[in-house]
Amino acid sequence: MSEEIWDGVIDLNLKSAFLCCRAVIPHMKARRYGRIVNVSSGIARGTGRVAGTAGAVLPYASAKAGVLGLTFTLAKMVARSGITVNAVVPGFVLTEPGARVRDWFEGLPAEGKEALLARTSMGRAGEPAEIASAIVFLASEEASFVSGAAIDVTGAA
């Protein structure tokens, strides 16, 4: 793998989260209130499945694990400023038709689809709305004492 590919994946999946946090935290501190919800991946915990070769998955898994480290550390740093920082950790989610993951899944033979879904404890893929619901909860007042947490939305993968 080239360093360019590594850097591109890290920038897209980890540096972007850092830059977003860095941009909003001063405003949240001024208001003494804020909610940050980062998105990691089950692959960061070794539970996710990503299409491609193991080598191609390495920078993605590393970046998404880094998102968890960013989340846990940042939560401690800004806790007294009224800001919560959490992460959602999606498992295998079937995105909308036409999206890369959906197209890849739809291109599998029936036995490949069944084998992939059988790896999840619930025997099915997640839905985008299920991920969104976890994010909405973490952004809500009901989660005001939840910070430094990573909620797995993996179907018990």
Active site residues: 60
Residues 6 or more apart whose Cβ sits within 8 Å of residue 74:
21, 36, 85
Q: What is the rounded distance in angstroms from the CA atom of residue 108 to the CA atom of residue 117?
A: 12
Chain Cα centroid distance, residue 42: 7
Tokens of 13: 């999946």
Question: Residue 67's closest CA among 55, 59, 56?
Answer: 59
Q: What is the rounded distance in angstroms from the CA atom of residue 98 to the CA atom of residue 47?
A: 25
